[in-house]
Chain A
Amino acid sequence: MIRVKIRSWTASFRYPTFQSGYQPTLPVPPLSTIQGLLSAAKGEIASFMEVPFVGYVFISEGKGIDLEKIYALGKPVTDVMKREVLLDNTLYLYLPDEWEEHFRKPRFQLLLGRSSDIATVEEIKKVELERKENVPIGGTIVPVSTGLPGIIHALVVEFDYSTIPRRAKLVRPFTILPFPRTDGQKKRQTSKNKIPYDSELGIGVWLHEGLHGEV
């Protein structure tokens, strides 16, 4: 498989539960953002149907709150909304080899969230992940069935773009695991089962495989 290293100055991932006047960001991208990245690289809407597996590790160095003027529904005046933004981000994508050509020459600009979150490919390399027990997982989302502790959200796996506006095609509950930085966090987010391990980053990589043919 290949590992694509993507970097951006800013990123924002829509928090699924709506909050009035405040838009927080998820600490890691949901699968639908990954679908968006794959689509932008390929130049056409990609579906996980065609991708046998995908794994990712997202690391962010900081955070901030931006103010945005919005024109709210049903209100004649403009309003100011707070929006959370992640700073200096790295996303490692683990993909089948055939994706290398798309990420070498992406058809559209790669974004980690909104149009201001321009990202760039910094490195593409072939990696072999050894399956190991008792390794920490993080910077990703995992199915709730793994039993790992974390915040649970119903997240969109994939969007259907054939309707306007786009429609969520598949929504599933996931446990959100931020990238573990402290020993305590690593310990909490350790999986007892054998999972692929990236020894360079020192992190277990959850490969979303079941999506193949299911979406």
Chain B
Amino acid sequence: MRFAVGIVLIDAPHSALNMLGIDESLADRNVTRVKKLRKGGKSYPYVSPQAWRYWWRKTLAEHFNWELSPLFREQKQVFTAANPIDYPDDDVFGYMRAFKKGNTNITVTRVSPLKNTPLISVLPDRSSVTTDEGYASRHEGDPVPYSQEFYSTVLKGAFSLDLDSVGRFTRIDKAGFKNLLDKDSIKNKELKKEVEEMEKKAEELGVQMNRKEWLMPSNIRKKRASETIKAIRYFLGGAKQTQYLTDVTPKFVILAMFEGGINPFISNVVYDDRGEIKLDNEAIISRILEFKDLLNPKKVFIGKDKSFMREWEDALKKVKEELEKDKIEVVLTTVGDAVEAFAKEVEAYYG
């Protein structure tokens, strides 16, 4: 088992990447708010996890030519194809498809190997959010006032990719473990044909097909996993791009591989200190040392955009020094290089 995990920071200097909509509690009903989480007396803007996943999927389609699983409607519900052989995003992002055709009621589910948190603002709203007063007007008739919130902050997000699960599909009759259907158990002709076609394709690709599990060839698993990682440097998406043009590519990343389902960076490695965003290098060092035994290879990749948080550079050198005392290599470079070097390590896992 091996997990590729990391934390990303997205610089959002003037942005409204995920909106809550009109504030219905106001009499005027003309204020559009950004999404916020409340903690103590403060609120923190955020981008919901599903929005971030949508960006991730879209980036894979645009930069790596992933053919995304089509959505189709069945029994008035919408599903993806639930075909991880043909569609890499069904493999990496998981699915649930409740099959019901005629008398056949078979459901397939795949737990997503890629998991991600929301992107949460490091700064609370009082030091990051502003309300912009706007008027819709063409200088004829009455102008219509409206307000919308936007923020200036840094968003933090964490993810975890289960490398073992990519390209591995279980066919066990347990909830959550039935990724694929068995053609012998299906009576419906149309559905049977669909499954037979998937099997044929799998045979052509050289998928190891056992009764309980299908395993894709390692070159396909390698490609899917490493492209999922490589997409990090190209993230594109977010609402209100016409007006705010936010570059959502991360400006800071920490990436590492662990032999266990943990992500030590889900912790306060960056924090708000009276309106300033600070890096807690001690926390990074201690969190990595805590899981040193699970770190494999003994490497940590830290990428930072030159212009982003120049004052962090000494603190990061300290991280490198301290961890290298414990024989952990720290690759301190740009975001692009860190992601590429990390993707190579991910590839190496598949041999």
Contacts and interface: CB of A to CB of B under 8 A. Distances in A.
B118 A10 contact: yes
B267 A67 contact: no
B44 A120 contact: no
A147 interface: no
B176 A9 contact: no
Given A109-B115, A120-B262, A165-B107, A71 B78 contact: yes
Given A9-B117, A64-B36, A67-B20, A164 B174 contact: yes
A107 interface: yes
A108 interface: yes
Contact of B40 (A7, A40, A61, A109): A61
Interface residues of B, number: 52
A173 interface: no
B35 A119 contact: no
Nearest to B108: A164
Contacts, number: 134
B112 interface: yes
B196 to A, nearest CB: 21
Contact of A166 (B50, B78, B175, B261): B175
Interface string A112-125: 00011111111000
Interface string A73-87: 111100010000101
B260 interface: yes
A108 B48 contact: no
Interface of B: 1, 3, 20-21, 35-40, 43-44, 46, 48-50, 76-78, 94, 106-107, 109, 111-112, 115-118, 120, 158-160, 162, 173-178, 259-267, 290, 293-294
Q: In the A-B complex, list the 8 residue pairs whose CB atoms are closest, starting with the nearest.
A: A62-B39, A64-B37, A116-B49, A166-B175, A106-B261, A109-B261, A105-B260, A71-B78
